[in-house]
Amino acid sequence: MTKDKVGFVGLGIMGLPMAANLAKAGFELTVYNRTPGRAEQLEGPTIRIAQSPAEVAEASDIIITIVSDSPDVEAVVLGPNGVIEGIRPGSILVDMSTISPAVERRIDQELQGKSCSLVDAPVSGGDIGAIKGTLAIMAGGERKSFERVLPLFEAMGKTITYCGPVGNGQLTKLCNQVLVSVNLLAVSEAVTFARKNGLDPATMIQAVAGGAAGSWQLSNLGPKIVDRDFAPGFMIDLMQKDLRLVLEAGDQAGVALAAAGLVHQFFNSAQAAGDGRAGTQALAKVIEKLSAV
Amino acid sequence: MTKDKVGFVGLGIMGLPMAANLAKAGFELTVYNRTPGRAEQLEGPTIRIAQSPAEVAEASDIIITIVSDSPDVEAVVLGPNGVIEGIRPGSILVDMSTISPAVERRIDQELQGKSCSLVDAPVSGGDIGAIKGTLAIMAGGERKSFERVLPLFEAMGKTITYCGPVGNGQLTKLCNQVLVSVNLLAVSEAVTFARKNGLDPATMIQAVAGGAAGSWQLSNLGPKIVDRDFAPGFMIDLMQKDLRLVLEAGDQAGVALAAAGLVHQFFNSAQAAGDGRAGTQALAKVIEKLSAV
């Protein structure tokens, strides 16, 4: 069986290393990035640079897109010279951006009209996970499409989960973001409480991180808060985009998200203070300000 | 060097197995429990049953108390026939209850007048941790008192942290409870969001638990919520007692705890619905009710 030919649209901080891992795994790649110059950073005999998403689609059996937000996906897929203009019957579009589940379902409808299908497969794990090939990948779509795409996922990620029909990858990613952001709020309050009460916050973290209070956010971002290291792993501006998707999906389904709504408002305060491009752990500065730390 | 003689007051669900672990480690014990019959469950040639906390203190170099709340500690230490009536100069009281840091400081003042000292050392890890001897112990007090008590802690716990002066053990435990309860709120919202949007919540947990969304609460209580298992590991009534201590200490130090305050209110709703003696994971039922799940 010959390997599927892969197209890749969006060579940003996540996309570039993900495409590199596909090339390393032996996939033949046709790539496109809006900003020129990025594609040239990929090297290899099996990599071809295209002039548009449509041209990527023409050359590929499976097309991956990973761009910033819902309108960007709509532009590269449904817009002029978009994927939909070049895609061949039977091909699969795999959107690995984090965007609206409703938009994914709409795009899937359009693709069905071309005898194609969509797998929505947002990722978690950041640029380090993208480089190391250890991303968590949460996928929605028809199971047979998922299974055809699985070898690509295995070249880019570690925890790969089939979550059900189109849109369920995005919905699972949004659950992820509820957990990440509310856990970070817990860390911010605990560290602020510790400081204001004269505890050494590093000792506090060490005392509690191994038990029922433990979380990835506490162990990884807690020490950064203590050390006043607000450099981005994941930027507040991007988290806010994701929380907007969370609250929008919550509105549509009728879910009352008190804590996720609260942390979104606190991140608004961080953005107002100029910390939009800081790491999410700068949330702690908002919580500290409330308590005049 | 002969081993310190140990007194133990409070043979409840936590105290009984903790005392048993001390006896197993070879400590000579004098024990007291308000409700008769509990002490008889401890067996061994080195265990003596006393008729009052004062009698426990007379016979001991180090006296451990572990009871329910601040008034209970005040009663067994400062009340009639309390520890303070029998304690000998140079002895150490180790209070392992979770109570107010301010009350611990007041008790320490009283003990100083008897040439004794206090170590406040609340625990985390539940009855299973107490039985297995794997508790997290967060201790406050003079360092030399802490070091004298350390062999006892090592018989009962695994992660043992010296947190600074008297009261700092309690303050660290309160940070622990902020993290535990707000992380659980995150889990409750994520699972409810998943359900309302047609995701399989067990698959969602599996997809995200290994990454940045991961927490002890998600991995341990998330599946119980999914399986509708609300039996108590840790009861809501007890969590509410602890959150009252959190918010009281926050009030006194001027800490604005939006998320911890919110989860306290949601637990009030759980108590109103008759779930006070359910496990903390019954918080999810409150969040579900808000969204008419």
Q: What is the ipTM of this complex?
A: 0.96
Taking CB atoms within 8 Å and a gap of at least 24, the contacts of B266-271 are B266/A258, B266/B185, B267/B181, B267/B236, B267/B239, B267/B240, B267/B243, B268/B240, B270/B236, B271/B236, B271/B237, B271/B240
Q: What is the mean pLDDT of residues B92-112?
A: 98
**In the prediction, which pLDDT does B36 show?**
85
Other Cβ atoms less than 10 A from the Cβ of B35: the count is: 8
Mean pLDDT on A266-280: 98
Which homologous superfamily is A174-290 in? N-(1-d-carboxylethyl)-l-norvaline Dehydrogenase; domain 2 (1.10.1040.10)
Task: With CA atoms as reference, report the closest residue to B123 among B161, B69, B91, B74.
Answer: B161
pLDDT above 80 for B2: no
Residue numbers of B between 195 and 214 with CB closer than 8 Å to A: 196-200, 203-204, 206-208, 210-214
Give the catalytic positions of B in this structure. Answer: 173
Helix/strand/coil (H/E/C) assignment for every residue in chain B:
CCCCCEEEECCCCCHHHHHHHHHHCCCCEEEECCCCCCHHHCCCCCEEECCCHHHHHHCCCEEEECCCCHHHHHHHHHCCCCHHHHCCCCCEEEECCCCCHHHHHHHHHHHHCCCCEEEECCEECHHHHHHHCCEEEEEECCHHHHHHHHHHHHHHEEEEEECCCCCHHHHHHHHHHHHHHHHHHHHHHHHHHHHHCCCCHHHHHHHHCCCCCCEHHHHHHHHHHHCCCCCCCCEHHHHHHHHHHHHHHHHHHCCCCHHHHHHHHHHHHHHHCCCCCCEHHHHHHHHHHHCCC
For an interface test with B, the pick among A208, A246, A264, A287 (most B C-beta atoms closer than 10 Å) comes out as: A208
Distances from the Cα of A159 to the Cα of A153, B125, B205, angstroms: 9, 29, 12
What confidence score (pLDDT) does residue B1 get? 58
Q: What does R_g of chain B's alpha carbons equal in angstroms?
A: 20
Architecture in CATH for domain B6-166: 3-Layer(aba) Sandwich (3.40)
Mean pLDDT over A138-161 rounds to: 98
Rounded distance between C-alpha atoms, residue A35 and residue B252, angstroms: 54
Q: Does B136 touch chain A (CB under 8 A)?
A: yes
State the pLDDT at residue A215: 98
Domain ranges of chain B: 6-166, 174-290
In this chain, the answer to whether the domains covering B6-166 and B174-290 adopt an identical fold is no
Q: Are A37 and A62 in contact (CB under 8 A)?
A: no
What's the mean per-residue pLDDT of chain B?
97
Q: Are B197 and A260 in contact (CB < 8 Å)?
A: no
Q: How confident is the model at residue A259 (pLDDT cuts 50, 70, 90)?
A: very high
pLDDT tens-digit map of B257-281: 999 999 999 999 999 999 999 999 9
- With 0-12 CB in 10 A as exposed, 13-18 as middle and 19+ as buried, what is B8? buried
How close does chain A come to B92, measured CA to CA in Å?
A: 23
Contact call for A193 and B249, based on CB within 8 A: yes
How confident is the model over B191-226, as pLDDT tens digits?
999 999 999 999 999 999 999 999 999 999 999 999
Query: Whose CA is closest to B46, among B14, B2, B107?
Result: B2
pLDDT of residue A138: 98
For residue A77, pLDDT beyond 90: yes
* Average of per-residue pLDDT across B125-138: 95
In this predicted model, what pLDDT tens digit does every residue of A18-39 receive, in sequence order?
999 999 999 999 999 999 889 9
pLDDT at B44: 81
Residues of B in contact with A168 (CB under 8 A): 198-199
Determine the pLDDT at residue A1: 59
Q: Which residues of B touch A290 (CB under 8 A)?
A: 256, 258
Q: Is the pLDDT of residue A266 over 90?
A: yes
**pLDDT 10s digits, B226-267:** 999 999 999 999 999 999 999 999 999 999 999 999 999 999
Q: Under a CB-based contact definition with an 8 Å cutoff, are residues A167 and A184 in contact?
A: no
- What proportion of chain B, given as a percentage, has pLDDT over 90? 95
A45 confidence band (pLDDT: 50, 70, 90) = confident
Contact B211 A258 (CB under 8 A): no
Strand order of the β-sheet with A157-162 is A123-124, A135-139, A157-162
Considering only CA atoms, which of A263, A184, A199, A265 is closest in space to residue A230? A184
- Mean pLDDT of all residues belonging to chain A: 97
Rounded mean pLDDT, B156-171: 98
Cross-chain Cβ contact B208/A179 below 8 Å: yes
Q: pLDDT tens-digit profile of A181-237?
A: 999 999 999 999 999 999 999 999 999 999 999 999 999 999 999 999 999 999 999
